[in-house]
Every structure is written in C-alpha cells, then in structure tokens.
Amino acid sequence: MQRIKSAARRPIIQGVSPIELTLLIALAVSLLSLLALRRRGARAQRDLRSLLATTSELRHLADHDALTGLPNRRRFEQELARHLAHVRRYGPEGAALVLDLDCFKPVNDTFGHLAGDRLLARVAWVLRERLRATDVVARLGGDEFAILLPRVDAAGAGAVARSLVEHVRAEALTADARGVTVSVGIIAFDERAPGVPEGILAAADIAMYDAKAAGGDGWAFYTEPRVTANGPRAAAGRSAASAHSPAVVVT
C-alpha cells in the first residue's frame, strides 16, 4: 500500500511536475479545440464552395440550352440589347443572323428524337468552331439558331453566312443526314435596323424565311419592307455548291 501511495505522489510523466502536467493538459485541450474549430471551418468553407458552385450552375442553366450548351433565347436577347446600346453610342456596326435547318423534321420523324438531338448538337459544334470568340451563337429553340457578329460589315456577314451554309451541309453529310441544310437570314445593324432585340430577331427571321423560300441551303439579307403580293422581300444568296435541297436521306 505504501508503494502505491508513493507512486501516486510521483509525477505521471517522469521529470514533469504536477503543475507542468496541468499546463500541458490545458495546452492539449486548447489545441484539440482549435483543431475542431478548424475542421468546422473547413467544413463550412466546403459547404460555401458547394453552394456557390450550385448557384453558378443554376445561373448557367437559366440562360443556356441544356442540349447544346449554347446560350438560349433569353441570353441572346440580352447580348443583342448590349450591342444595340453600343450601336446607339458609337454608331452602326455588326450584324445578326437567324439560322433554321432545312429538312430537319424527317430526321425526327424517321429516326427518332435522339438522332435529331445528336444532329443539333453537331450543328451547334460547327457554329462554335466557325465563329470567333467575340461572336455570340445561341439556340433559340427547336432547330433554330441565332448569331451576333459585333465586329463585321455587311460583306463580312455574307461571307460568314456562306461559310456556315457550306460547313453545316458538310457536317450533315458526315452525320449521314444527306439533305439537311441550313437557311440563314441576315440583318445589318445600320440606321434602318430596329432598335430593340425583338425587332432585330423578327427582321432576321423574315430574311431567313426568304432564303428558305428560295430553296434553302443559302442566305438572305433583310431589306426595308416593300409591299408586294408576297409581303416583305429580302436579298437572297446561295453558295456555288448549293442546289435545291432534296428530301432528307439518312443512311
């Protein structure tokens, strides 16, 4: 028993007094508390980063098309509004294009919507690849796309349209969707252009339908409406390699 009492009176750690031991224990408790706070802080930081990532993803989904990843109509109209403000301040510059695929419906009807979705995704890829980083390409809905060319004149817009018509046709052939082409309507941001995004899209849409009425696989510029038996007219153009599009053939 005496040996037990003697051992109890000795420091638990050899060479450390009871007071020092008490201080060491207090320090260890403080360190453990700090570590726990740091872990909670790290967890809070992770939660915050996750919340920010989710918010960013939701914001992206709100103004981008889920299938192609392109900006949607809402975002495109915002970009148009910004450019129109630039035009009002600095003068006319740039052009807007509306594109609609020709003979696309038979792809969905014959081969299913999955095949149609794959083709739309490939067309979106072609449009992104053929345009500059400063240009804006969007999917308006269905098989209709739109492009904002902020730094181009009318001749340059026509050259872009020609290139896109040719490359979409080639991509459709690669995708075994022969007969699928694209019609493009163009409106230049000149002094006669509408001053609101909806007016710009409506004018480009008129030109696009004029290109489609000319046989598709081509482009048309919007001009000031002239009263005719068929309504507003636009100046149309077609690429040298184009011809009236046949019915879609997917092999």
Active site residues per annotation: 143
The answer to whether the CB of 155 falls within 8 A of the CB of 72 is no
**Please, which residues bridge with residue 102 across strands?**
181
DSSP structure class, residue 239: -
DSSP the chain: -HHHHHHHHS-SSTT--HHHHHHHHHHHHHHHHHHHHHHHHHHHHHHHHHHHHHHHHHHHHHTB-TTT--B-HHHHHHHHHHHHHHHHHH----EEEEEEEES-HHHHHHH-HHHHHHHHHHHHHHHHHHS-TTSEEEEEETTEEEEEESS--HHHHHHHHHHHHHHHHHHHHHTTEET-EEEEEEEE-STTS-SSHHHHHHHHHHHHHHHHHTTSSEEEEE------TTS--EEEEE-TT--PPPPPEE-
Between CA 9 and CA 87 the distance in angstroms is 90
Q: How many CA atoms lie within 13 A of 82 on its CB side?
A: 9
